[in-house]
Amino acid sequence: MSSQPDIPLLIPRHPDMPAMRRQRIALLAGVVVVFWLVLQLFATILLPFVAAAGVAYFLDPLAGRLTRAGMPRGLAALLLVILLIAAVLLFLLLFYPLILAQLGLLITRLPEYAGMLRQAAMTVMARLQDRLGADFVNARLRELVGSQAGNMLSFLATAASRLLGGGFAIFNALTLLVVTPVVSFYLLRDWPRVIAKLDTWLPRRYEGVIRAQAREVDRILSAWVRGQALCCLALALYYTLALTLVGLDLGLLVGLAAGLLSFIPYVGSIVGLVTALGLALAQFPSWWGVAAVAAVFFVGQILEGYVIYPRFLGDRVELPAVWVIFALFAGGAAFGFLGVLLAVPVTATIGVLARFWLRRYLTSPLYLDPPGPPLSSAP
For the chain, what are the domain ranges? Answer: 210-362
15 falls in which pLDDT band (50, 70, 90)?
low
Q: How far apart are CA 359 and CA 362, in angstroms?
A: 5
319 neighbors 351 (Cβ within 8 angstroms)? yes
pLDDT at 209 over 60: yes
Q: What share of the chain is helix, strand, coil (3-state, %, to 5)?
A: 80, 0, 20
Residue 98 CA to residue 332 CA, distance in Å, equals: 29
Look at the pTM and tell me if it is higher than 0.85.
Answer: no
Give 24 or 69, the one with higher predicted confidence.
Answer: 69
Tell me the per-residue pLDDT of 247-305, one tens digit each, with 9 for 90 and over. 888 888 899 989 988 887 778 888 899 889 988 888 888 888 889 999 999 999 898 88
Predicted pLDDT of residue 149 = 52
CA distances to 228, 242, 256, 266, 346 from 259, rounded to whole Å, are: 11, 12, 5, 11, 24
* pLDDT beyond 70 at 167: no
Average pLDDT across the chain, whole number: 79
Residue 195 CA, distance from chain mean position: 24
State how far the Cα of 9 lies from the Cα of 337, in Å rounded to an integer. 57
Please provide residue 247's backbone torsions phi and psi, each rounded to the nearest 5 degrees: 95, 10
The dihedral sign for the CA sequence 229, 231, 236, 241: positive
DSSP reduced 3-state for 313: coil
CB-CB contact of 162 with 59 (8 Å):
no
* Residue 11 clears pLDDT 50, i.e. is over it: no
CB 118 within 8 A of CB 152: no
Average pLDDT over residues 74-82: 95
- Tens-digit pLDDT profile for residues 20-65: 777 778 877 888 888 888 888 887 788 888 889 989 998 999 999 9
Radius of gyration, alpha carbons of the chain: 29
Task: Give the residue with greater pLDDT, 162 vs 10.
Answer: 162
Helices then strands, counting H and E runs in the chain, come out as 13, 0
Question: 153 or 309, which is more confident?
Answer: 309
Q: Tell me, what's the pLDDT at 4?
A: 45
DSSP 320: -
- Environment class of 77 (CB within 10 Å of its CB; exposed 0-12, middle 13-18, buried 19+): buried
Tell me: pLDDT of 200 over 60: yes
Of 290 and 376, the one with more pLDDT = 290
The pLDDT value given to residue 10: 42
Highest mean pLDDT among 213-222, 234-243, 267-276, 361-370: 234-243
Q: Can you give the pLDDT at residue 166?
A: 46
Amino acid at 56: A
